[in-house]
Chain A
Amino acid sequence: MRVGLLYSRIRKDEKLLLGELRERGHEVTKIDVRDHQFGLEEGPDELTECDVVVDRCLATSRSLYATKFCEAYGVPVVNDPATAETCADKVKNSLALSSAGVPTPNTDVAFTKESAIESIEAFGYPCVLKPVVGSWGRLMAKVDSRSAAEAILEHKATLGHYEHKVFYVQEFVEKPGRDIRVLATDGEPVAAMVRSSDHWLTNAAKGAETEAFELDAEAEELVAAASDAVGGGLLGVDLMEVGDSEAASAPEEPSGDAAEPRDASYTVHEVNHTVEFKALNDAVDVDVPGAVVDWLEAKAGAKQEVVA
């Protein structure tokens, strides 16, 4: 099949994908979105001639528009723009998860410093302020006091892009020093790892240590539900263990009901739509790029059958 890869930077993740696709004999077209124009009716030939396009844009803004254009040109794209739009914005992400009954941290959105401080005081300290768009743990603030909250809110309101004036306030989840990253294809887990750190942020990009993790039935159900909530696709689902962390992580004794957020052993804090997997691939025995390409082949094959 002819596979297009939308990018503006080739990370190790993209190299792994490119290597796997080429090894299987697929025709791969790298499409640097910085080099092209996207018309309302006509797109770049390199793009429109593809059987399937994989969005690996590093910049969220480019990802959102480029996938929208793929859709407009009738080119199948992974992930589709609706999924990208939901995942790219933490507010939409949280709303989608909550609306689907997936346990997710309690969150308020406020549009002024005054209303945000009311939310922060209501959550109590510590709580968390997050940018609505952002990744890799950047610009996340653990708020420990009212004076810190006031300073952070003033900085966000004064110095930031208008999006920083959308105050996303979230409860602080007492996780056991780690969170869980699951790479899933249409809700089916490919592999999972824990990311551990002494820091409250446990992003791999922040240097957290990674280790393979075996999902229990409850976590698998949550991954499927979270994937469905955002529209499915190739996703990175992030979970935190809550309550009794040892019980929560014991695969043989799943507790709670995934459909009942208050009884769940996990909470899903977000779903990522241009998921990085190099750290996961190093941590687990699963051939992650191989599994991703298996899924892409099946997806492209299914679409071709529908067209035929």
Chain B
Amino acid sequence: MTECVECGADVALHDSAEVGEIVDCTTCGAELEIVERAPPVLDRAPELEEDWGE
């Protein structure tokens, strides 16, 4: 369990969470990037860039 960096609400990471994955804060809807897993650390996810894609 960790905290949303946007609103401070609790955010639980699922067991298969990966560093680099994006999770949503269920309270405020912020997109959060998993920066560390143990202990869990979140940061605001980067904004969409024009050259993102496949």
Contacts and interface: CB of A to CB of B under 8 A. Distances in A.
Contact of A15 (B16, B33, B49, B52): B16
5 contacts: A9-B45, A10-B19, A19-B16, A60-B51, A136-B54
B15 to A, nearest CB: 12
Interface string B41-54: 00001100111111
A10 B50 contact: no
B23 to A, nearest CB: 11
Contacts of B30: none
A236 B54 CA distance: 9
B22 interface: yes
A275 B53 CA distance: 9
A15 B54 contact: no
A135 B52 contact: yes
A276 B22 CA distance: 16
Contacts of B19: 10, 30, 32
B53 A32 contact: no
Contacts of B20: 7-10, 14, 30, 32
Interface in A216-249: 236
Interface core residue of A10, A19, A138, A274 (most chain B CB under 10 Å): A10
A274 B54 contact: yes
**Contact size class for A?**
20 to 34
Nearest to A61: B51
B18 interface: yes
Contacts of B52: 58-60, 135-136
Contacts of A194: none
Q: Is the interface of B mostly helix, strand, loop or mixed?
A: loop
A94 interface: no
A59 B53 CA distance: 7
A273 B54 CA distance: 6
Interface core residue of B21, B49, B52 (most chain A CB under 10 Å): B52
Nearest to B48: A138
Contacts of A60: 51-53
A144 B49 CA distance: 28
A64 to B, nearest CB: 9
A211 to B, nearest CB: 20
A134 interface: yes
Contact of A161 (B18, B33, B46, B50): B50
Contact of B18 (A8, A18, A236, A276): A18
A251 B47 CA distance: 43
Nearest to A273: B54
B22 A135 contact: no
Contacts of A11: 21
A134 B50 contact: yes
6 smallest beta-carbon distances between A and B, as pairs = A135-B53, A10-B20, A60-B51, A10-B21, A10-B18, A272-B54
Interface string A1-21: 000000111110011001100
A272 B53 CA distance: 9
B18 A275 contact: no
A262 B45 CA distance: 46
A146 B54 CA distance: 31
A133 B22 contact: no
